[in-house]
Homo-oligomer: A and B are copies of this chain.
């Protein structure tokens, strides 16, 4: 594979959203919520909220605003309508403060020596930048949904990566822990690497160990660096 750039799904693939969101929910809501269940319920609203944008039901809306709308619904269902504005705003920032999986920074630090690295996430640019500065993720640039005002798996998001990098799609490798993301990337001509993250959903979902349709399947970003010879 002659791969020049690697683009990454972020939530679940590079960072552990579940424990990070639960940590902030615990800090900000205390006994009022089961933190892990709250994180799961919030995440369950993620795809449906983006689908409202993808279908045209909503105009382009950055992920922070979708997270906020889902949060307001969740708090209402919990009977917690009294949670104040500043607490809600801080809760939305939980998604900016997610910790990387332990192999992420060591793997990316190796991969960046010979490749261009960029997130290709549905997270808005400010979220991805805040997360990277806090966690030390060594991105060369930020790509993703907000730049083209489309959410994955819309083709526009994948197409923008080789276009902006001035590379043929076959020299761009999409790395993700979700086979549907990889299938959509492959349909646009990108190469694909599946990353097995068995703990992403805290046991609620059991992702496959490998993706037979991907060019590579690995279980860490350090293993990906090994496989790419960097």
Contacts and interface: CB of A to CB of B under 8 A. Distances in A.
A116 B133 contact: yes
Given A141-B139, A141-B142, A165 B116 contact: no
A165 B133 contact: no
Interface string A26-46: 000000000000000000000
Question: How many A residues touch the partner, as a band?
Answer: 20 to 34
A126 interface: yes
Interface string A144-158: 001100000000000
A109 interface: no
A141 B133 CA distance: 11
A129 B167 CA distance: 12
Copies of this chain present: 2
A126 B165 CA distance: 5
Interface of A: 62, 64, 116, 124-126, 128-129, 132-133, 139-142, 146-147, 164-167
A140 B147 contact: no
A141 B164 contact: no
A116 B141 contact: no
